[in-house]
Amino acid sequence: MSVMFKISGVAFAAESAGETEGDAHTETAGAHGSGDDAHGGTFPPFDPSTYASQLVWLAITFGIFYLLMKRVALPQIAGILEMRRDRISQDLDEAQRLSDESDAAHAAYEHELAEARKRAHAIAQEARDEAKAETDAEREKVEAELNEKMAAAEAQITKIKQDALSGIDEIASDTAEAIVKELIGGTVTKAELAKAVSGK
């Protein structure tokens, strides 16, 4: 044989044990065969004679399984569901709080923006009023200076006109005297020339 020991007695004992086990298997197989013959060759779960014991073991197994589910699995599942429900509720509360804070911040921003626009409008209006006042003051100043210059110019024009009118008689007399000299060849007195120029 492939398995050999130095002591032949041990090998012999092993072979004897193998033969003994083979005989035992053969006797067991014979016993099972005789049992199958006794039950008519039916599958044990379908054997009517074992229904009662099967129902008892089914009830026992179902009861144990029910107790395990009730005492162990279901409380854990319920705890997990409760924890998830609490977490979802907390998340919803936090989301609502953040939404409220966002709405409040938006309202505050709109209020500040409206106030800033109002202040900017007031500042712009004040600047326009100041610019208008400065422009009116400058315009009045320029108009006053122009009026003074116009008054001075009119006075100067009046003076020049008076000077020119006062010298017209003399110029006319000189011109008439020169014309008389050229035309007649004689002389005319100043009184006669003045009378002739004035038409009196």
List, in sequence order, the alpha helices (H) in 40-73. Answer: 51-68
pLDDT for 192 equals 65
Q: Are 151 and 159 in contact (CB under 8 A)?
A: no
Helix (H, G, I), strand (E, B) or coil at 184: coil
What phi and psi values does residue 162 have, to the nearest 5 degrees? -65, -45
What digits encode the pLDDT tens for the residues 116-164?
A: 999 999 999 999 999 999 999 999 999 999 998 989 888 889 888 887 7
Q: List all residues 6 or more positions away from 176 whose beta carbon is below 8 Å from its beta carbon.
A: 188, 193, 196, 197
pLDDT grade for 8, boundaries at 50, 70 and 90 = very low
Query: Which amino acid, one-letter code, is at 145?
Result: E
∠ CA 84-87-91, rounded to 5°: 135
As a whole number of angstroms, the distance between CA 16 and CA 9 comes to 10
pLDDT for 194 equals 64
Q: List all residues 6 or more positions away from 54 whose beta carbon is below 8 Å from its beta carbon.
A: 45
As a whole number of angstroms, the distance between CA 99 and CA 28 comes to 79
What digits encode the pLDDT tens for the residues 40-49?
A: 567 777 888 8
